[in-house]
Amino acid sequence: MSRILIVEDERKIARFLELELLHEGYEVDTAGDGRTGLEKALSWKPDLMILDLMLPELSGIEVCRRLRHESDLPIIMLTAKDDVSDKVMGLDMGADDYMTKPFAIEELLARIRVGLKKHRTVQQQAASSVLTAGELTLDPASYAVTWAGKPVALTKKEFDLLRYLMQHKGQAVTRDALLSDVWGYDYAGDTNVVDVYIRYLRHKIDEPFGVKTIHTIRAVGYMFSYE
């Protein structure tokens, strides 16, 4: 079930959208200002966001701009009036689509389906594309990892962890993010499991080849960085 976040300060519109989307079978959450919207977009991890432009706390444009540093979440902007400069700015800031209020709900629903489908396709392509860093190659399709062409044997969890780190190359990732995205957010075990698996990976990827690909970022977590 896809999750949709509605960021809209006009209560009547937000409520109307919420009911329509629930009726369509989506999981829905709402935020009445830009700051809360941005927080929920990052913590709740929706599959698509409907974002009003004129918002208290943070404008829709600002939410878009900040979100794009961390997420490729599809965004459909709502503009109150037919303001071309707002739309252009929103699209420049990384919104995927926009609708002018008042809008026909059927059209918005159609655009939501398009946005979700496009996003899934991009994610599937990203999930199956070969990742490389220097001599290191990871192929998700065949579950193969090689160093300078020689196979490196990893367990499934080690492989998933390395893939996640390589997909976020150059970005510090927190232990919490690793736990929820690699182990699944219903994982109920010890958070030290992340450190243990990082050690396993270093033992198999870094130590045998005398390199440092997985870096400890103090008070944050880890970062994969190697060219």
Nearest partner of 90 among 68, 109, 111, 69, judged by Cα = 68
Output the smallest distance, CB 97 to Ca ion, in A. 18
Output the smallest distance, CB 54 to Ca ion, in A. 4
Site for Ca ion in 116-145 (CB under 5 A): none
For Ca ion, the closer of residues 63 and 162 by Cβ is 63
Q: Is the dihedral of CA 51, 54, 56, 58 positive or negative?
A: positive
Question: H or E segment at 109?
Answer: helix 105-128
Number of C-beta neighbours around residue 225 at 10 A: 16
Residue 205 identity (one-letter amino acid): I
Select from 8-16, 105-113, 116-124, 197-205 the region that touches Ca ion (CB under 5 A): 8-16
Strand order in the sheet with 221-224: 173-174, 221-224, 214-217
Instruction: Return the residue nearest Ca ion (CB atom).
Output: 54
Output the smallest distance, CB 61 to Ca ion, in A. 12
For Ca ion, the closer of residues 54 and 193 by Cβ is 54
For Ca ion, the closer of residues 51 and 112 by Cβ is 51
Burial class (CB in 10 A: 0-12, 13-18, 19+), 199: exposed
- Report the SS3 class of residue 180: helix
Q: What is the rounded CA–CA span in Å between residue 11 and residue 33?
A: 11
Which residue among 9, 27, 29, 195 contacts Ca ion (CB under 5 A)? 9
For Ca ion, the closer of residues 4 and 201 by Cβ is 4
Q: What is the rounded CA–CA span in Å between residue 77 and residue 101?
A: 10
Select from 7-15, 103-111, 128-136, 207-215 the region that touches Ca ion (CB under 5 A): 7-15
For Ca ion, the closer of residues 52 and 96 by Cβ is 52
Site for Ca ion in 26-85 (CB under 5 A): 52, 54
Q: Does 91 bind Ca ion (CB under 5 A)?
A: no
Output the smallest distance, CB 224 to Ca ion, in A. 40
Question: H or E segment at 127?
Answer: helix 105-128
Output the smallest distance, CB 52 to Ca ion, in A. 4
Encoding tokens for residue 158?
């080690």
What single-letter DSSP state applies at residue 92?
Answer: H
Contacts with Ca ion, residue ranges (CB under 5 A): 9, 52, 54
